[in-house]
Amino acid sequence: MIDQAVFDARVSRLEDALHKKCGVGGRDLRAKLRRAGRRLPKRVQKAGRMLTEAQARRGIPKLWLQVDGEETDRAFDTFDRHLETVNPVERRKGLALALTGTIVFNLLLVLGFLIFVLKWQDLI
């Protein structure tokens, strides 16, 4: 059995880390995990589902007794290990580079099509 105050503190710390590292917002852990979506690996998604189920049981004392403390500790550890590897600056750089690459590719495609049409019409 896990202490509810400790569980709530760890969930709060996890929500803050998700917001700072992954840039996801939301009113609770479930909303933040839904917004993070496929940016999280499968094992972290699974740990998140387990934690949200435990959080749902938190309000009902008889169901709270069914929550496995070791399993929740493993889920929190899985999240902590993953979030340690996330670098928000590198994530933003990657997004900027991907956007730039997409724009450049589209411009090259349009330019190629324009040259094709001009040659087809014997304008160049």
**Domain regions of the chain by residue span:** 2-85, 87-123
Phi/psi-derived region of residue 37, left when phi > 0, alpha when psi is between -120 and 50, beta in every other case: left
pLDDT at 9: 95
pLDDT at 124: 82
- The mean pLDDT values, 10 residues at a time, for the chain of 124 residues are 89 94 91 92 95 92 91 95 93 95 98 96 88
pLDDT at 31: 94
Quote the tokens at residue 105.
């590719």
CA–CA gap between residue 74 and residue 71 (Å, rounded): 5
Q: pTM for the complete prediction?
A: 0.79
